[in-house]
Amino acid sequence: MAGKLSKEQRKALIQKAEEDRAKHPVKNDGKSGFAAIDEEAEKLDGQSK
């Protein structure tokens, strides 16, 4: 198990993660989580038949 990170290390990791998110934003398709799950379930159900 990894040791605890220092406050400076945590800040550096958070800053790097925020920069990565800014450079590579996640596309929001406007669907709720449940709508996406239902759509995926329909796809999988159609494949199994």
- The predicted pLDDT at position 26 comes to 73
Would you state the structure tokens that stand for residue 43, as one six-digit string? 């796809």
Tell how far CA 15 is from the center of its chain.
17
Decide if pLDDT at 1 tops 60.
no
Residue-wise pLDDT tens digits, 8-39: 999 999 999 999 988 887 776 777 788 888 98
Would you state the structure tokens that stand for residue 30, as one six-digit string? 């406007």
Type and span of the H or E element at 30: none
- The predicted pLDDT at position 12 comes to 95
- The predicted pLDDT at position 17 comes to 94
Say how far apart CA 40 and CA 38 lie, in whole Å: 5
pTM score over 0.75: no
Say how far apart CA 14 and CA 34 lie, in whole Å: 29
